[in-house]
Amino acid sequence: MFYDNFVRLSVRKGLSPSAAAEEMGFKRSVVSRWKAGAVPRQATLQRIADFFGANVKELVEDEMDVENVDEVRQALRERPDLRTLFTVATGVPASAIYKAIAMIEEYKENQ
């Protein structure tokens, strides 16, 4: 839940989850803990929400508006490097698309 929302907000900002965490001053390893299900403390959640221009509720609620396909399409249109994904993503849930984008970003960072 938290991690999926973190991924969505990272992608929306044009960053991989690891890059977003680093920009906030966190170690990359914290993203692995979040991916495994750990949820940050309230002060850290607020720091993350501030970074994304979001609120804490958007970070912790169960895929709040992640299924908004128009939001996903707009995010993909704005990222020329991800346009191919947009063309093959018809019928795929928005949360799955965001996870795929995060995996691609992580792969690009590690090459």
Residue 47: Cβ within 10 Å count: 15
pTM exceeding 0.95: no
3-class SS string, 23-80: HCCCCCHHHHHHHCCCCCCHHHHHHHHHHHCCCHHHHHCCCCCCCCHHHHHHHHHCCH
CB 10 within 8 A of CB 28: no
pLDDT digits (tens, 9 = 90+) for 32-75: 899 888 999 999 999 999 999 998 988 888 654 445 666 666 76
pLDDT digits (tens, 9 = 90+) for 6-17: 988 888 888 889
For Cα atoms 94, 98, 100, give the angle at the middle one, nearest 5 degrees. 115
**Position of tokens 């019928």?**
91
Closest CA to 73 of 51, 52, 50, 101: 101
